[in-house]
Amino acid sequence: MTLNRREFLQVMESAAATAAVGSLIGCRTPDQPVDPDAPLASPPRSGLKETWLVSTCGACPGGCGVRARIVEERLVGISGNPLHPINRGGLCPLGLAAAHTLYHPDRLRGPMRRAGAAGSGDFKSTTWADGIGDVSKRLRDLRDRGLSHTVAIVDGSRGLESQLAARFLESYGSPHHVDGRAWTDDRAPEAVRALQGISGPVSYDLENARFILAFGSGWLDGAASPVGAGRGYALARRARKSKRVHVVQIEPRLSVGAAHADEWIPIEPGTEGVLALGFMHLILREGLENRDFVDRWGTGFDALRGIVLRDYHPEAVAERTGIEVATLIRVARRFASTRPAVAIGDDRVGPGAQAVEARMAIHALNAVVGAINAPGGTLTPPPVPFAPLPATPADEAGKRGAAMPSLAGNGGASGLADLQSWIEGRGQYPINLLIVLGADPLAALGGGDKAKAALGRIPFIVSLSPFLDETARRADLVLPDHTWLERWQDDATYTSGGYPVLGLRRPLLPPKQDTRHAGETLAEIARGVGGATGGALPWKDFPEVMKLAIAGIHQTGRGAIFDVSEAEPWVETMEQSGWRASDFGSFDRFWSKLEERGGWWDPSYDFGERGRVLRTPSGKFEFQQLANAYDPATAARPSVVRVGDGTPTASADPEKRLHQEYPFRLHLYPLLAAYGDHAGPLPFVQDILGKEMEQSWRLWVELSPTDADALGLTDGTGVIVQSPDGEVEARVKVYPGIRPGVAAMPLGPGGAPGQICRRAMGASAGSLVALRKDPTGVSGWGAGWVRVRKA
């Protein structure tokens, strides 16, 4: 189309004479260089086939709803789904850049078999029939030899896919279903389990809180759902009617979360538990505790009171935590007298310094002020009411294998630390075959070469990763999964207000590469194994499994399909008055509505369900457990996790020795990009991941000006950071927002050679800490001590 001068001027006029001219050049791909002399070659193209589909973001476990803009079979944009209750149309950089995940140059093209040495990255392509046939045959052979229990699945997936893996193992005959989620450990769930007796997650009702007492960096930028937490924070800050929330952040580093707090209290790392008990001391001494909760719903409170009032005087706490007495008194009073107030431990579990006891002490602060299961406090989201899958068929061989002791040794769930220590010699028999599903155990184990050596001793590793991540590089066979943009999945999560949410993840486009749904790959392997295993995953595809389970929601008639937010209070009122808002119609109609709107949720929370929230043997909040943990007489856990907690323990001496050799306390903080492991390394994200520190792409270590001066280091100096578990290269960032004596590093994904977009961080700070188990069987990241020297 050509324009004469008059028309040109009209366009300029009506389009406000503008940047538009750029737009009017029309779409060009980079291989068609734009001719700067042809400004008005064509107006914006019209008549392009454009569709919008909704799905659920899979870049992190946050569960935001997304809308995809698809033009002529190309995914050209991802934005937030305005109907989704977690994000209401907003989205973080990982989700927004997700079209790059789909078209990522480092994606695997199809199934591959290792050609060179393990870890060389040398692979040759193979067919699906060959790959699946090979695994099935190996599994069949092991089973025939009575060795089915030597097979393990490392599973980082959630929901139904994880259930498929469990069914597979149960029918095949192995107890080794290993939790492979990155940067998770047992500390936070263990603390809640000990006090409340529940294993599910706890959500913090940020939106309604008037005082947030946050310990650690993770509550805002690294929460279970970063976007959900950000939204809750913003609403608490500037909701229309109520007073603005007051935020106190306790952390050795002035993080993004601390920068947004009203007060930042730099604490000696590892003394968070002592501080929590110090606050409790002041609250009890001044009689500010919530007697109603403590008396009616607590047990063992007097024992705890005795210890806290005896051992945690403000002066003693001030000395150990490095926080002034006046600050302690001011914060404790305000926390106990503001309603509602909530204390948040490091929600994002990762290698922090907080021991289980410390997390228990922080959580118990909520109980002391009556913020357990209360608006603006901690909530326990009910589960999404899926229908259970039919019983798993099992034969004799399967039952025998599945009854073998699990890697965890105590019959509990196994984690990566169990797998590693089992292989390193604790185990009674070798692991012969490992299937890796939605996980990258090598990256997640940390600890540098030790994890590599351990995994290297498994004779056959199958990875189902869509990218050549660290584990896939060492695998013998890679059967790549779709990216989250090409696959079906259920994403059950919850809002910060405690409402259960089911997000539907659906393919936005046909697969771009020769990949297959991991759940379907697993089912095909099962069919290849035959016998009872062959019948364990009988479904033709993954949506069939989803429909089976989601029918449960349809049957309950509870909750509602996602809708505009204005409807929320209305739905809630109707539900409370006993009226069911939902008229789902037939299941097919329900399903198509799910596809159209993105999911289902149940926007009601019953604060009366004490039995669901307090599941301890006593049916009460177990203050006694916390008392035991901090009672010097019972000396609860002389654990690796406890190292550095600041309390006098059996491990105090090795602690001192460590400190002499490694003078800096390592503070690892979450970085959004660390969540991006499911998304592939995205250039846009790599470029901004340390923006607040003016860093990107490469790993850095933050030191206080005093420490940097003492070592003769300046901004940008290359250094080696070394811990007892490993070492990494990094650049120095001198930052006055760090407590002297602390070295802070971001926890992001490491780089792998040979990848186009992942020259990235180079090394991961995760290799400085290792996942270990303490004698009571709780896994945690070793409290890191490091030394820093010039490279």
Positions 28 through 57 that interact with other proteins (CB under 8 A): 28-31, 33-34, 36-39, 44-45, 48
Q: Where would I find the H helices in 269-322?
A: 272-285, 291-297, 301-311, 314-321
Find the binder of other proteins among 104, 167, 193, 516 (CB under 8 A): 104
Q: Is 351 a residue that touches other proteins (CB under 8 A)?
A: no
Residue carrying structure tokens 């950071």: 721
Q: Where would I find the H helices in 557-647?
A: 567-576, 587-597, 610-613, 623-630
- Closest CB to other proteins among residues 15, 387: 15
Residue carrying structure tokens 């597979």: 168
Report d(CA 403, CA 126) in Å as an integer: 35
Instruction: Provide the minimum distance between the beta carbon of 93 and other proteins in the complex, in angstroms, as a whole number.
Output: 4
Report d(CA 156, CA 472) in Å as an integer: 14
Residue type at position 204: Y
Question: x/- site string to other proteins, residues 181 to 220, per CB under 8 A?
Answer: ---------------------------------------x
Name the token pair of 477. 């066979």
User: Which residues are 744's β-sheet partners?
Assistant: 667, 702
Instruction: Provide the minimum distance between the beta carbon of 89 and other proteins in the complex, in angstroms, as a whole number.
Output: 7
Q: Is 326 a residue that touches other proteins (CB under 8 A)?
A: no
- Closest CB to other proteins among residues 587, 697: 697
H/E stretch holding 203 = strand 203-204
Instruction: Provide the minimum distance between the beta carbon of 226 and other proteins in the complex, in angstroms, as a whole number.
Output: 7
Angle at the Cα of 304 from the Cα atoms of 302 and 310, rounded to 5 degrees: 100
Cα 306 from chain centroid (whole Å): 37
Q: Is 90 a residue that touches other proteins (CB under 8 A)?
A: yes
Q: Is 403 a residue that touches other proteins (CB under 8 A)?
A: no
Q: Are 169 and 402 in contact (CB under 8 A)?
A: yes
> Which of 103-111, 191-199, 342-350, 441-449 is the region at the interface with other proteins (rule: CB under 8 A)?
103-111
Residue type at position 203: S
Report d(CA 25, CA 48) in Å as an integer: 16
Q: By three-state DSSP, how is residue 729 classified?
A: strand
Q: Is 19 a residue that touches other proteins (CB under 8 A)?
A: yes
Report d(CA 513, CA 525) in Å as an integer: 20
Longest dimension (CA), the chain: 92
Instruction: Provide the minimum distance between the beta carbon of 15 and other proteins in the complex, in angstroms, as a whole number.
Output: 6
Query: CB-based contacts of 180: which residues, under 8 Å, 6+ apart?
Result: 154, 155, 156, 416, 436, 437, 438, 439, 440, 441, 444
Find the binder of other proteins among 26, 200, 201, 456 (CB under 8 A): 26
- Closest CB to other proteins among residues 322, 456: 322
Report d(CA 94, CA 748) in Å as an integer: 13
Find the binder of other proteins among 80, 401, 680, 749 (CB under 8 A): 80
Angle at the Cα of 677 from the Cα atoms of 675 and 679, rounded to 5 degrees: 100
Q: Is 724 a residue that touches other proteins (CB under 8 A)?
A: no
- Closest CB to other proteins among residues 744, 770: 744
Q: Is 103 a residue that touches other proteins (CB under 8 A)?
A: yes
Q: How many CB atoms lie within 10 A of CB 715?
A: 13
Q: Is 493 a residue that touches other proteins (CB under 8 A)?
A: no
Question: x/- site string to other proteins, residues 521 to 560, per CB under 8 A?
Answer: ----------------------------------------
Q: Is 639 a residue that touches other proteins (CB under 8 A)?
A: no
Q: Is 568 a residue that touches other proteins (CB under 8 A)?
A: no
Instruction: Provide the minimum distance between the beta carbon of 107 and other proteins in the complex, in angstroms, as a whole number.
Output: 9
Find the binder of other proteins among 687, 709, 754, 789 (CB under 8 A): 687
Count of residues engaged in binding other proteins, rule: CB under 8 A? 97
* Contact set for other proteins, span 260-289 (CB under 8 A): 260, 264, 266
Of 560, 561, 552, 639, nearest in space to 598 by CA: 561
Helix axes 128-144, 518-529, angle to 10 degrees: 50
Find the binder of other proteins among 137, 145, 238, 426 (CB under 8 A): 238
Phi and psi of 640, rounded to 5°? Answer: -65, -35
Output the CA torsion sign for 745, 747, 753, 754: negative
Answer whether the bond into residue 617 is a cis peptide, omega within 30°. Answer: no
Cα Rg of the chain, angstroms? 27
- Closest CB to other proteins among residues 105, 459: 105
Length, in residues, of the chain: 791
Q: Is 683 a residue that touches other proteins (CB under 8 A)?
A: yes
Report d(CA 444, CA 58) in Å as an integer: 18
Report d(CA 165, CA 788) in Å as an integer: 43
- Closest CB to other proteins among residues 142, 508: 508
Name the token pair of 565. 């937010």
Instruction: Provide the minimum distance between the beta carbon of 599 and other proteins in the complex, in angstroms, as a whole number.
Output: 18
Instruction: Provide the minimum distance between the beta carbon of 312 and other proteins in the complex, in angstroms, as a whole number.
Output: 23
- Closest CB to other proteins among residues 91, 344: 91
Q: Is 736 a residue that touches other proteins (CB under 8 A)?
A: yes
Find the binder of other proteins among 54, 60, 97, 213 (CB under 8 A): 97
Report d(CA 463, CA 480) in Å as an integer: 7
Q: Is 145 a residue that touches other proteins (CB under 8 A)?
A: no
Report CA-CA distances (Å) from 649 to 224, 323, 475, 636, 722.
32, 22, 42, 9, 26
- Closest CB to other proteins among residues 25, 307: 25
Q: Is 705 a residue that touches other proteins (CB under 8 A)?
A: yes
Output the CA torsion sign for 349, 354, 356, 360: negative
- Closest CB to other proteins among residues 3, 20: 20
Instruction: Provide the minimum distance between the beta carbon of 694 and other proteins in the complex, in angstroms, as a whole number.
Output: 6
Instruction: Provide the minimum distance between the beta carbon of 685 and other proteins in the complex, in angstroms, as a whole number.
Output: 7
Q: Is 27 a residue that touches other proteins (CB under 8 A)?
A: yes
- Closest CB to other proteins among residues 2, 14: 14
Find the binder of other proteins among 226, 519, 670, 780 (CB under 8 A): 226
Q: Is 511 a residue that touches other proteins (CB under 8 A)?
A: no
> Which of 79-87, 146-154, 274-282, 546-554 is the region at the interface with other proteins (rule: CB under 8 A)?
79-87
Q: Is 737 a residue that touches other proteins (CB under 8 A)?
A: yes
Helices (H) and strands (E) in the chain, counts: 31, 31
Q: In what order do the strands lie in the sheet with 489-494?
A: 489-494, 500-505, 599-601, 560-561
Q: Is 70 a residue that touches other proteins (CB under 8 A)?
A: no
Find the binder of other proteins among 7, 105, 137, 309 (CB under 8 A): 105
Find the binder of other proteins among 221, 251, 440, 490 (CB under 8 A): 221
Instruction: Provide the minimum distance between the beta carbon of 654 and other proteins in the complex, in angstroms, as a whole number.
Output: 30
Find the binder of other proteins among 57, 191, 195, 258 (CB under 8 A): 258
Instruction: Provide the minimum distance between the beta carbon of 758 and other proteins in the complex, in angstroms, as a whole number.
Output: 10
Q: Is 688 a residue that touches other proteins (CB under 8 A)?
A: yes
- Closest CB to other proteins among residues 113, 334: 334
Instruction: Provide the minimum distance between the beta carbon of 665 and other proteins in the complex, in angstroms, as a whole number.
Output: 15
Report d(CA 26, CA 97) in Å as an integer: 22
Name the token pair of 655. 């602690």
* Contact set for other proteins, span 738-767 (CB under 8 A): 738-740, 756-757, 759-760
Find the binder of other proteins among 77, 121, 200, 300 (CB under 8 A): 77
477-478/489-494 β-pairing: unpaired
